[in-house]
Chains A and B, each alone.
Chain A
Amino acid sequence: MSIDEGTARRVASLARIRVEDDAIPALAADFTAILGFVEQLSEVDVDGVEPMTSVTPQRLKRRDDVVTDGGQQAAVLANAPDAREGFFAVPKVVE
């Protein structure tokens, strides 16, 4: 199958990655190559086969439902590009 430029543009937008117009054709070609490669999966008979959810059989461990961590505001904010008054700062979201 072939991925057209409109689809490539839409996927970039869903992934929140800006792609300049002149780079779209090459991107669409890459998608076509990769998805063409995985296309061969359609020839496998998967009737009655469960999709894998866990590669090793395991039951998730349980623990008491109590707070085990916290009070680390300074550490949490230490790497923020913009932090103010104990918050992450971002451009205005709501008009």
Chain B
Amino acid sequence: MTAPNALTIAQARDALRAGDITAPELTEACLTAIDGAGALNAVVHGTPDIARAQAEAAQTRIRAGMAPDLCGIPLGIKDLFCTRGVASQAGSRILEGFVPEYESTVTRQLLESGAVMLGKLNMDEFAMGSSNETSVYGAAVNPWKVDDRKLTPGGSSGGSAAAVAANLCLGATGTDTGGSIRQPAAFTGTVGIKPTYGRCSRWGIVAFASSLDQAGPMTRDVRDAAIMLRAMSGHDPADSTSADIHVPDFEAALTGDIRGKVIGIPREYRMDGMPQDIEDLWTRGREMLRDAGAEIRDITLPHTKYALPTYYVIAPAEASSNLARYDGVRFGHRATLAAGDGITEMYEKTRAEGFGDEVKRRVMVGTYVLSAGFYDAYYNRARRVRTLIKRDFETVFADGVDAILTPTTPSAAFGLGEMADADPVAMYLNDVFTVTVNLAGLPGISVPAGLDRAGLPLGLQLIGRPWEEAELLSIAHSLERAAQFVAKPTRWW
């Protein structure tokens, strides 16, 4: 029998309802797995006491019958979500000691549906990074390993990806501003979906770039993503950008029938120097969807090459504004001041001590592109190009394309420290296939679809129409079944 902590959410739900396992047993199995996985550095604030109490309460609900899908399911929560009474640091020194007095809407919804919180998960500082190396806790480590090197689980939701892949939890929350759910999912052989902008409330999630940020689930398969996404979604009066749109039963939409669906293959995603493994995976993905009855169509998204530069104006601009709140006054770190220091010195020293290098870099780039004289040339121009990027997608969807297939990342997981001397732009290229989706506000999912020659997982990305997560998940489910990705990391930790 599968170890309890290695079950999928759907399997555990069914076993809990059938009485084959209890919620406390399931939670205990995960807590034991976490205790044995310190080397992965995935869980940064464990909450075993809370988890045990929640598991007991969940068991009572399960016994009474009619428990929601997630009742008794142990989850990990990205450190970016504010959780009442539990440290929420966004992977930053500047929020050291911060204990929210409130619960984010997404985690509140998960807890109300009976989910068990095992702890807070590692991430890049303020979700700015693609390797988890900007975290104040040190990098989370990928459970996948093919030689002596320790590999990145990706970022920014690297702790979430590592925890799900290593069976420390059954699912985890992530957030995605430029690829932060999908890239780590691809690097760890897991599934991650970024829903349509506005599907999940952003209230109580530490803000990075508000027009791009979305929460989403990270799970072991597509069915689990469907189950978890439904519980995370819905309108919230506390987030004016959350959409008052019906949330369907995403799991019920997994019909496995994609006959007649039109899958677009964007020619601009074929990049110079793309590794052969990625090229081959993409070809196999096309074949799998065609064999399942979909129509494969070549499409063009002409402004694709401008997506990353657009993102690296808009995201830092919004970050510089959002992160202005970290000033040492209302919460978090305040620098020790010298005699005679005034309030400006307090701000400058606090932010110099509290922010890491990548966060400082982005806040300052954002400050620059918003400053007098450069606002039009950088920020307004980027917002115009963003309109064109979104229009590219609208055009192909209007022509009848149901979803778009691309690789998730331009490479498999790389070694921790390997990018240390590279210029910041080299790291940004990780998001080249994912960032367009955030700029256009679309749903996107990464599905593990194969291994590269070295034996590391690779993901394929499907991009859907706005609000059509149900259809997107159904296509992803078909791809998943065809790919039959069953490889798991061998335990070394």
Chains A and B come from one and the same complex: yes
Task: Name A's B-contacting residues (CB within 8 A).
Answer: 3, 7-8, 11-19, 27, 30-31, 33-35, 37-42, 44, 46, 49-56, 58, 60-61, 63, 72, 75-76, 78-82, 88, 90-93
Q: Which residues of A contact B150 (CB under 8 A)?
A: none
Chain B positions 435-470 with a Cβ under 8 Å from a chain A Cβ? 439-441, 466
Q: Does B383 interact with chain A (Cβ within 8 Å)?
A: yes
Instruction: Among B102, B328, B342, B390, point to the contact of A55 (Cβ < 8 A).
Output: B390
Write out, one digit per residue, whether chain B residues 345-389 have a CB within 8 A of any chain A CB (1) or not (0).
111110110010000110111011001000001101111111110
Q: Establish whether residues B197 and A79, one from each chain, have CB atoms under 8 Å apart when the complex forms.
A: no
B344: shortest Cβ distance to chain A, in Å?
7
For residue B240, which residues in chain A have a CB less than 8 angstroms away from its CB?
60-61
Q: Is B137 an interface residue (CB 8 A)?
A: no
Seen from chain B, the residues whose Cβ lies within 8 Å of a Cβ on chain A are 97-102, 196-198, 211, 237, 240-241, 243-244, 303, 305-306, 308-310, 312-313, 320, 324, 327-334, 337, 341-349, 351-352, 355, 360-361, 363-365, 367-368, 371, 377-378, 380-388, 390, 423-425, 428, 439-441, 466
Is the Cβ of B364 less than 8 Å from the Cβ of A27?
yes
A13 to B355 CA separation, bound complex (whole angstroms)? 15
In the assembled complex, the Cα of A82 lies from the Cα of B241 at a distance in Å of 33
A81 and B197 form a contact (CB under 8 A):
no
Residue of A nearest to B327 (CB): A16
- A34 vs B313: C-alpha distance when bound (angstroms): 9
Is B425 in contact with A34, judged by CB distance below 8 angstroms?
yes
> Looking at chain A's contact residues, is the secondary structure mostly helix, strand, loop, or mixed?
loop
**Chain A residues with CB below 8 A from B440, complex form:** 55
30 pairs, CB–CB < 8 Å, chain A vs chain B: A16-B348, A17-B352, A17-B364, A18-B352, A30-B424, A35-B368, A38-B309, A38-B310, A38-B312, A38-B382, A40-B305, A41-B309, A41-B382, A49-B387, A49-B388, A51-B383, A55-B386, A55-B440, A56-B243, A58-B243, A75-B102, A79-B101, A79-B330, A81-B332, A81-B333, A81-B334, A82-B334, A88-B329, A90-B343, A91-B341
Q: Which residues of chain B are within 8 angstroms of A16 by Cβ–Cβ distance?
A: 324, 327, 344, 347-348, 351
User: Which residue, of B330, B345, B351, B384, has the highest number of chain A Cβ atoms within 10 A?
Assistant: B384
The interface residues of chain A lying within 8 Å CB-to-CB of B439 are: 55
Whether A44 contacts B364 in the complex (CB less than 8 A), given A34-B424, A63-B237, A91-B342, comes out as no
In the complex, which residues of chain A have a beta carbon less than 8 angstroms from the beta carbon of B386? 51-52, 55
CA distance A56 to B468 in the complex (A): 13
- The reply to whether A44 and B303 contact each other, CB–CB distance below 8 Å, is yes
Residues of A within 8 A of B324 (CB): 16
Q: Assess whether A93 is in contact with B306, with CB atoms less than 8 Å apart.
A: no
How far does the alpha carbon of A51 sit from the alpha carbon of B211 in the complex, in Å? 13
| A44–B385 CB distance below 8 A | yes
Contact A46 B349 (CB under 8 A): no
Interchain CB contact under 8 A, B388 and A46: yes
A38-B313, A51-B380 known; 20 new pairs, CB 8 Å cut-off, are A16-B348, A31-B365, A33-B424, A35-B378, A37-B309, A38-B382, A42-B377, A46-B384, A46-B388, A50-B384, A50-B387, A56-B241, A58-B198, A60-B240, A72-B101, A75-B101, A76-B330, A78-B101, A79-B100, A92-B342
Pairwise interchain contact B98-A91, C-beta atoms closer than 8 A = no
Name the residue of chain B whose CB is nearest to the CB of A12. Answer: B364
Asked if A17 and B351 sit within 8 Å, CB to CB, the answer is: yes
From known contacts A18-B351, A80-B331, A90-B346, infer whether A41 and B237 are also in contact, taking CB-CB under 8 Å. Answer: no
On chain A, the residues within 8 Å of B382 by CB distance are 38, 41
